[in-house]
Chain A
Amino acid sequence: MAAHSRGHPAMREREFSPAGTSPYWWIRPCAGPILFLSLLFLFLFLFTAAAASAAAPEEEKFTEELLLRPLPDRKALAHFHFRSSAPPAASVGRHHHLFPKAISQLVKKYHISELELSFTQGRWNYEQWGGFDPMSTNNAKPPGVELWAVFDLPLSEIDATWKNLTHTLSGLFCASINFLESSTAFSAPRWGFKLNEGNLRYGALPREAVCTENLTPWLKLLPCRDKAGIASLLYRPSIYKGYYHSQKLKLRSSQSLGIILDQTLTVVLQPNTVSGEQLHSNHGQLQPNWSMRHLFNRKLSGKCLVSKSSRVFIEVDKGIVDNVNKSGSDLSWSNEFFVLSNSPDKLIKGQNHVEIQSSFLYVYDASNYTEEKPLDVGITWKLPLVWTCTPSPFHASRFLMGSGNERGSIALSFMSTNLHKQISGSPTDCSIKAVIFQVVPWYVKVYYHSLEIFIDGSRKTVSEVVDKIHVIPSEDKLLPGTLEMLLRFPCSMQSGTLTLDFDKGFLHIDEYPPDANQGFDIPSALVSFPEFSSARSYPEIDPVLGSPLLENFQEDSVVKSYTEVLLVPLTTPDFSMPYNVITFTCTVLALYFGSLLNALRRRIGEEERELKKTVVILKKWQLLASILYRKFVDELF
């Protein structure tokens, strides 16, 4: 090989690229046109600089934010929010600086105008962690994977596009989202989930596992990945240790807006309790103290350099605010109930939609902190504090009734939290609207006519309570059953129950999953209360602050809650049965054909002759033997 390194370059090329299949083309240095290229780059640079200054707002942006909040049941909530936005495609062409290319290609290829994909482990505890704030309505998601998308396409093309979309997402996020491809797995709700013109598709996989392999590609969409900035706090073992874990990706795209990608991660963690905690006799235990290091095993050392803003919020709930106000002290970062470990850069008051002061936000700017001086913000409690989060108007839960493998019924129960009394006094003749959206797989055959409604124990007719109902009945191996229902409950109702009967279907033997004995999951139902809005407003906030996290909190969204996933045991066949059948039939066939052949092929006459022949031969041998023996004996004696 040494000899080849000399000589004319053209000759070497002839030698080293047999049939043009050489894979080393990228190794070769490009020596020639460097001068020309550099000139070109200079021009390009000048040109782009000019272009950029001309259209300053039209650039890609990235912001990172983290919200930490103590929860009443001694846990802590951490909510990461990353937003990348790309201006309308026409102005930038195909190239991106910060925005993930994979996502923009996805949006363009499938003409998506809205998409949300969430991976969730655990269930949001609506009673303890709140059901009436933006966090629970936007970031509490059903266990497993939930995907919905609104397409900007003619209705006839949507189903096919949805199928391709699920495959692409499954490749992107290392998950089996492609199981949503089959028409038995997704539905097209019209108004129960989100109002649309038939271009929305919804699918859920309640049993999908969520682990680091889903988080890794999600992080790869961020410009700094998890190497710098707020995402560097995501230490896997600590965030997967939590009670609730929901990783979400939300996309919005339009001609005027460009593409906005919101990536959120919501975790509920148990702070590592510091030892030597004293017990207080009157109120029970002190809340556990925590800081970033306790929660994540990491400290925050500065921001991701390309991010436009990088903030950490500590939010204290309305319950704490009320308690502190009652005691007469002000809500500075160091008051008689708690102390924050760092002094905040800013303090923001939040209000809920009825103009009641609801929460306080302490804001820290991550760009003020560095590797040498990392941010490790935390909360230290001085006095025990008991508070509750605002619940949703009704606490919804869903369960199964009946026994046996043949039939059963689904019950949805609503327990009043008496919220309306707190909000609007107590008028007796008011009513509260509730929308139910539920998708049931085809093998759970729901009889929608069997709907029964009980309010405070007494049975009501359907027309008394149901305002509007839309049912897409299931079709065997083709369509899942979809139920959308608008109900009107009297405000005075304490408990209401809806029941629906169903028959359990049979699957084909190939369709059973390997762990069929575990049962089948019915995805969570969604209950929303359209008259209640969870939006917050921040009157003191200056719009220049530009915090997408707070923007999301200000968006008008109805109060929603997801019910539990149902586990329906179905009759599972004895999977060894086919083998038994095969062996059994084979035995019978063998016996039949064996005896038949025996009867047909056997020649008894010939056999007898053979037998005689052998007898004759045997006799001859015997004769011979006896003769020989006699001779032998004679000679001997």
Chain B
Amino acid sequence: MAFGRRSPGSSRHPPALTIVTALLFAFLSSAAAAASSSTDAMHNNNWAVLVCTSRFWFNYRHMANTLSLYRTVKRLGIPDERIILMLADDMACNPRNSYPAQVFNNENHQLNLYGDNVEVDYRGYEVTVENFLRVLTGRHESAVPRSKRLLSDEGSHILLYMTGHGGDEFLKFQDSEELQSHDLADAVKQMKEKHRFKELLIMVDTCQAATLFSQLQSPGVLAIGSSMKGENSYSHHLDSDIGVSVVDRFTYYTLAFFEKLNMYSNASLNSLFTSYNPSMLMSTAYYRMDLYERPLNEVPVTNFFGSVMKTLHTDSAYTGFLAAHDYETPLSVGDNLDDHFMLKDRATPRRSNIEKEAQLTPHGWTEVLLEQLEGKNTDTVVMYGLGAMGILLALSTWLSM
């Protein structure tokens, strides 16, 4: 532990000379770095944003849809603090509900979705397009509590589920506002820029859901809609005790798929997608996969609907940040033979590490540069920079002659 700890100060370079080189280096490789940095992060957390956009009692099924998904993702391991639940109206304690504090998604009333542990983050009048976009993009007032924020990072997989009434390229919120496909695409783009997700799965159960995805263009986004343009999404069945339809077809069959799974099953997204039968849905489920890189039959559904991640097993305690920078230290510390065998085994991972190091260096340079720029000697930095540019220009003109 102790031998590998290099003081962070020792990697600092004396400013004046290195800045020039830093400038050049950063200049040349910043574009490459920016492109590669976004995909670097490992998937290390899961979030879910579940939105029911409809108010009024006859839209009971939309709330039941959302709560069913809420139950599913909780069952598959996403904790409550990583679920943002938005419900536009109160159905469970609605005076019209003959089952107070209960919501059912099936007329057999086997499963109370509104159990003892529901945490609704946004409800009633708070479910607006503005708040929805704020949650996605993370632009909140400073007073907004953490439980109402989507605190995801570049290693997050986010499930965004929306249900409500929609049309060609829009989704209605509360019967008074619309979220347009452009707004959604814009928000997703912002999220990508701000490194708020690694992969995003958008699932929408509404009429003409496919049209909502038409403007998306950020990489790492996967979208599933319940119906194509010009098609309606229908409800599944009516509960005559409650008096309204209790679930939508698309969500019903999604749940039917998930009820068979537990946290440990590795059913792929592809199997979810193929499980939708247009004759049962009475609409054609639509998938947009062109922005997504990984092959769908290799991605388990628990990557989005659960919180299952690869666990790396280690025997020793975690040493913190600095351990990552110890490449220069001699590899064989102990002098037993095992270590020499280890060297062979480690050849490949080490090489990839070196490559990673190479990719990461520009970051180091830019960091140094930024630090210098923020400090007092901004003027000198700029001057040196201009000087370097001049030299570069002169050099290139001389070379071209």
Contacts and interface: CB of A to CB of B under 8 A. Distances in A.
B90 interface: yes
Given A19-B360, A209-B90, A237-B99, A13 B42 contact: no
B318 A28 contact: yes
A217 B80 CA distance: 12
Interface string A10-25: 1111111111111111
Interface centre among B102, B342, B356 (most CB of A within 10 A): B342
Contacts of A28: 314, 316-318
B58 interface: no
A387 interface: no
B268 interface: no
Contacts of A23: 44-45, 155
A190 B329 CA distance: 71
Contacts of B118: 212-213, 216
A216 B333 contact: no
Contacts, number: 179
B314 A16 contact: yes
A209 B126 CA distance: 12
Interface in B104-125: 114-121, 123-125
Contact of A174 (B44, B56, B123, B174): B123
A164 interface: yes
Contact of B145 (A121, A172, A179): A172
A272 B12 CA distance: 77
Contacts of A32: 317
Nearest to B90: A209
A241 B102 CA distance: 11
Given A7-B339, A237-B101, A209 B123 contact: yes
B349 interface: yes
Nearest to B89: A209
B333 A8 contact: yes
Contact of A31 (B102, B316, B323, B338): B316
A37 to B, nearest CB: 13
B92 interface: yes
Interface in B186-233: none
B35 interface: no
Given A3-B345, A212-B92, A212-B118, A24 B4 contact: no
Nearest to B329: A14
A171 to B, nearest CB: 3
Interface string A212-233: 1100110000000010000000
Given A14-B327, A514-B55, A175 B123 contact: yes
B321 interface: yes
Nearest to A175: B123
A22 B312 contact: yes
Contacts of A3: 342, 345-346
Contact of A6 (B174, B342, B349): B342
B401 interface: no
A24 B312 contact: yes
Contact of B100 (A18, A174, A178, A240): A240
A6 B143 contact: no
A208 B126 CA distance: 11
Contacts of A440: none
B324 A14 contact: yes
B90 to A, nearest CB: 3
A493 to B, nearest CB: 36
Contact of B324 (A4, A7, A8, A17): A17
Interface string B313-356: 11111111111101101010110001100100110010001001
B3 A10 contact: yes
A12 B356 contact: no
Nearest to A168: B145
Given A13-B323, A20-B321, A168-B145, A176 B125 contact: yes
A23 B317 CA distance: 13
Contacts of B323: 13-14, 17, 20
B124 A8 contact: no
Given A14-B324, A23-B45, A211-B101, A7 B338 contact: yes
Contact of A10 (B1, B102, B123, B174): B1
B30 interface: no
Contact of A15 (B155, B339, B349): B349
B148 A171 contact: yes
Given A10-B3, A217-B119, A22 B92 contact: no
Interface string A84-110: 000000000000000000000000000
B319 A211 contact: no
A16 B42 CA distance: 12
A167 B331 CA distance: 53
B311 interface: yes
A179 B353 CA distance: 51
Given A14-B4, A171-B147, A216 B123 contact: no
A216 B116 contact: yes
A13 B323 CA distance: 6
Nearest to B331: A11
A11 B333 contact: yes
A575 interface: yes
B93 interface: yes
19 contacts: A1-B312, A3-B346, A7-B339, A13-B314, A14-B324, A17-B321, A27-B314, A30-B317, A164-B143, A167-B143, A174-B119, A174-B123, A210-B93, A212-B115, A213-B118, A213-B123, A236-B102, A236-B116, A575-B176
Interface of A: 1, 3-32, 121, 163-164, 167-168, 170-172, 174-176, 178-179, 181, 208-213, 216-217, 226, 236-237, 239-241, 512-515, 575
Question: Which 5 pairs of residues, A with B, have the shortest CB-CB distance?
Answer: A171-B145, A9-B316, A209-B90, A20-B321, A25-B318
Given A24-B312, A179-B125, A213-B118, 14 more contacts: A1-B312, A10-B333, A14-B327, A16-B312, A19-B360, A31-B317, A174-B121, A174-B123, A179-B126, A216-B118, A217-B119, A237-B99, A237-B102, A515-B175
